[in-house]
């Protein structure tokens, strides 16, 4: 019968994975990257009513701005200061923003450390107190759901129940709104 050490050594004889070629390829891409200086130009303009606004300069004489050094950026800035540039078009874009995913135990601890300077122990102590809740005139209320989890999956039954509750209580507000699906 092989000894304990021989069993461990056997695992090191596994066939190599396909990761090293990908890692080498990515490393070569990183080494081949050439950093390029990039400048953006902004202009503060005033409307006929006296309101000021900040605009991005995207074209000069009809050509896209491609400012790749400080000297050229300063030249364009001086030219813009001496002239009275006009706004030729205004583009308004809507951006879709998705909410941040729910916290797992580790992401909760990371954010509390980064934003509040909390240690993991302090973070979990505060989370435990929030979970246990507070006394209110309506009774004892927990302020968060269970905080120790490594998964953000929601059971299909729970998701269906929440959607029914929302539809029943908020039907007027959600008319025509499509709820996102959980992964």
**26 with 78, same domain?**
yes
pTM of the model: 0.41
| H or E, element range at 64 | strand 63-64
Structure tokens at 132: 């246990």
Among the listed residues 127, 134, 132, the one whose alpha carbon sits nearest the alpha carbon of residue 111: 127
Which residues belong to the active site?
146
Among the listed residues 174, 120, 166, the one whose alpha carbon sits nearest the alpha carbon of residue 147: 120
Count how many domains the chain has: 2
Say if 121 falls within a structural domain: yes
Contact 45, 87 (CB under 8 A): yes
Say if 98 falls within a structural domain: no
> At which residue do the structure tokens 């303009």 appear?
45
Domain containing 78: what range?
20-87
Counting Cβ atoms within 10 Å, is residue 127 exposed (0-12), middle (13-18) or buried (19+)? buried
Per-residue pLDDT of the chain (183 residues; tens, 9 = 90+): 455 555 554 445 555 555 677 888 888 888 888 888 888 888 888 877 888 888 888 877 778 888 888 888 888 888 888 877 777 777 788 888 888 888 889 999 999 999 999 999 999 999 999 999 888 888 888 888 777 788 888 888 988 898 888 878 887 676 666 656 555
**131 with 159, same domain?**
yes
**141 with 83, same domain?**
no
Rounded distance between C-alpha atoms, residue 101 and residue 146, angstroms: 16
Planar angle of CA 84, 78, 88, nearest 5 degrees:
35
């Amino acid at each position: 019968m092989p000894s304990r050490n021989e069993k461990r050594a056997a695992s090191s004889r596994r066939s190599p994975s396909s990761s090293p070629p990908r890692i080498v390829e990515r490393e070569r891409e990183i080494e081949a990257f050439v950093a390029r200086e990039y400048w953006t130009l902004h202009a503060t303009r005033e409307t006929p009513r006296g309101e000021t606004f900040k605009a991005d300069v995207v074209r000069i004489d009809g050509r896209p701005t491609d400012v790749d050094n400080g000297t050229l950026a300063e030249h364009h800035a001086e030219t813009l200061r001496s002239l009275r540039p006009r706004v030729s078009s205004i583009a308004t874009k809507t951006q879709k923003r998705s909410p941040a995913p729910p916290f797992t135990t580790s992401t909760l601890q990371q954010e509390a450390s980064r934003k509040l300077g909390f240690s993991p122990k302090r973070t979990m102590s505060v989370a435990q107190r929030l979970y246990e809740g507070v006394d209110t005139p309506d009774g004892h209320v927990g302020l968060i759901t269970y905080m120790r989890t490594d998964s953000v999956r929601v059971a299909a039954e729970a998701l269906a129940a929440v959607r029914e509750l929302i539809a029943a209580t908020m039907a007027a507000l959600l008319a025509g709104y499509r709820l996102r699906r959980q992964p």
